Structure 1
Amino acid sequence: MTYSIGIDSGSTATKGVLLEGDVIRRRFLCPTPFRPAEAIREGWESLSAGLEARPYLTLTGYGRQLVDFADRQVTEITCHGLGARLLAPATRTVIDIGGQDSKVIQLDRDGNLTDFLMNDKCAAGTGRFLEVISRTLGAGVEELDAITAGVAPHAIGSMCTVFAESEVISLRSAGVAPEAILAGVLSALARRSANFIGRLSAGGPLLFTGGVSRCTAFTRMLEEQVGMAVHTHPDAQFAGAIGAALIGQRQRRRK
């Protein structure tokens, strides 16, 4: 069995996997620095270290064209659909919320892409929005589950990152508890994401991928908003990289 490496160069994090067949043998995850090519290089060296033969390398994400040693570059829409199906074979709809964009991908029963929507023009509805607001309140995104557990959300009026940040500061000045504000931000983001999914009239099973999928509180709120089960997976953040590695496997077989 030959190895295949997929690397997803995102705006916030660089993710990579070493795939052997349908099995993930290695994972790589690091924050994307100001020079994303360095993170891609680091991922490649980490994932390919010690292998006897050079694996096929497929890149996806924003930084996919920044290095010249990849065998192939592929758009992230195709990769996320394929990666989601490996993680959860019954998936018909993928909602991916990353640092810079959010996307909804619709698949047919055979896993082929039938339609998609992408928001990459505005930070609202992305992990960046959540990161900015959390930082304004002195919290990290990874702390949101613990902070918001059992807390009633305070309504947030604006989903524009600039205006929402100002609104959060005003709410804190008025004495509103930070955990209630954070719960309100999650609720507002879930409502916006549900509307985004609804624009495709998407049906289940629904798989939630991307870095934000690690937030259980948000996943629960999204489930309430869309009115159906929202599934995730421990490797959901790697869906794009997994899909890229799968494409690499297919390309190598053809050759």
Structure 2
Amino acid sequence: MITLGIDIGSTTSKCILLRDGKEIIGKSLLVGGMGTDSPKKAMDTVLKECEITPEDVARTIVTGYGRKNFEFGDGEVSELTCHGLGGRFVFPELRSVIDIGGQDAKVIVLSESGRMSNFVMNDKCAAGTGRFLDVMATILQMDIGDFDACAAKSSDPASISSTCTVFAESEVISQLANGVKREDLIAGICSSVAARVSALARRAGVMPMVCMSGGVAKNGAVRRALSESLDMEIAVDPLAQYFGAIGAALYAYRQAIK
């Protein structure tokens, strides 16, 4: 049995094809999320690459920001549920998921059986999200993919005290003008994101084993700062950005076999 999970985020669209609830047989990721044609393109891409027709798919479940406005699914479910399911699919002993997406940050705590027992979400402010990092990358005229290597060169991370993205932007520009090294600014920016997210994690009651999901999981500097702040090892997997879609595909499978 083949099921499809689609995660429509604020900046990207991800798809996962799952066979019998156990094997990932295809995946796709396109830049562009809610309000774009990327979700449909991502779905068409993964089906084409796997040589599967829509009729071959037993059930399709949609999650993420755009889940309620996608007409090609059989149902939708909260991204909180899906990130928990997806994380547990990859890490069977998982107890906490830290998801830093484009527009929000979520911490999901799971019971021993894998059911969600608590969560805390920041969706009111861009600080502590991927959007914050994107803004800072623009200011510094850097590719965000270079943050990790650059931050690793820092010997004196800058202090970014502002809790608002707009004010932090001014603070970074001012420090840059005052001669603060770029690598120290980047290290400080990543530590600032980690500090905000670790505060969410503590409120949620985070416990090991902990993993990161979402696009920011690829940023090693944020991961290291977060691990240090929480004094916990943070697991990461190459599929981290697909956890929501994996969870949606798994949810679809569980519905289909009922």
| TM-score, structure 2 normalization | 0.94
Match of 2:70 in 1: 67
- Within 1, Cα distance between the matches of 2:163 and 2:217? 19
One-letter amino acid of the structure 2 residue matched with residue 110 of structure 1: S
Query: Could you say what secondary structure the match of 1:65 adopts?
Result: helix
Could you list the runs of 5+ residues in structure 2 that have no partner in the other structure? none
Match of 1:5 in 2: 4
1:88-117 per-residue CA deviation (whole Å, 9 max, x = no partner) reads 010001110000110010101110111111
Aligned pair 1:25/2:25, yes or no? yes
After superposition, the Cα gap between the structure-2 partners of 1:200 and 1:34, relative to the gap in structure 1 and judged at 3 Å, is closer
Work out which of the residue numbers 114, 118, 134 in structure 1 matches 2:137: 134
- Within 1, Cα distance between the matches of 2:117 and 2:34? 35
The CA deviation at 1:148 is 1.2
| TM-score, structure 1 normalization | 0.95
- Within 1, Cα distance between the matches of 2:15 and 2:232? 30
- 8 Å CA contact retained: 2:8, 2:34: no
Aligned pair 1:230/2:234, yes or no? yes
Identical-pair percentage: 42
- Within 2, Cα distance between the matches of 1:33 and 1:117? 23
One-letter amino acid of the structure 2 residue matched with residue 48 of structure 1: L
CA RMSD of aligned residues (A): 1.2
The CA deviation at 1:34 is 7.1
Work out which of the residue numbers 215, 218, 221 in structure 2 matches 1:214: 218
Matches within 5 A, 1:164-183: 164-183=168-187
One-letter amino acid of the structure 2 residue matched with residue 32 of structure 1: G
The CA deviation at 1:35 is 3.1
One-letter amino acid of the structure 2 residue matched with residue 123 of structure 1: A
Aligned pair 1:58/2:61, yes or no? yes
Query: Could you say what secondary structure the match of 1:109 adopts?
Result: coil
Could you list the runs of 5+ residues in structure 1 that have no partner in the other structure? none
The CA deviation at 1:69 is 2.0
Moved over 6 A (4+): none
One-letter amino acid of the structure 2 residue matched with residue 51 of structure 1: I
The CA deviation at 1:145 is 1.1
